[in-house]
Amino acid sequence: MKASNRRAFMFTMMVGGGVLAASRASGQSPAPVATETDPQASALGYKTDGSKVDPARYPQHQAAQVCHGCTFFQGKPDDAMAPCLLLGGKQVAGQGWCMAWAKKA
Ligand code: SF4
């Protein structure tokens, strides 16, 4: 290997390694998961399983209302979990529900 080729190879390896390290360092970890006992979630009656909503306490709840179909759900329709804008970006269950449910447009 010629000296200039060796230098180019070493430069490529150093830059490539730096880019890889930088991309790993900036990798975003997933948002924390909302629990039913989080103060904000609890205040909204959040349930991770919409079928467990107490109808006596939340008579407005309908079975078809789940986080997947809520305007505040930031995931795709088949995502099991996704951030909720109303719960500070914490992840909520796609099959969850809370009293702030609003039909996605
Ligand atoms: Fe689910 Fe919508 Fe309530 Fe967020 S605001 S927890 S997406 S029903």
DSSP, res 97: B
Distance between Cα 30 and ligand 1 center (Å): 18
Q: Which ligand 1 atom minimizes the distance to the CA of 87?
A: 4
Query: What gap in Å lies between CA 8 and CA 12, rounded to an integer?
Result: 6
Q: Where are the domains of the chain?
A: 1-30, 31-105
- Structural element, H or E, at residue 81: strand 81-83
* Residue entry with tokens 């996605």: 104
Residues 103 and 71 sit within 8 Å (Cβ to Cβ): yes
Written out in words, the top-level CATH class of the domain with range 31-105 is few secondary structures
- Global pTM reads 0.74
Tens of pLDDT along 35-73?
Answer: 999 999 999 999 999 999 999 999 999 999 999 999 999
Tens of pLDDT along 81-94?
Answer: 999 999 999 999 99
Examine the pLDDT at 2 and tell me if it is beyond 80: no
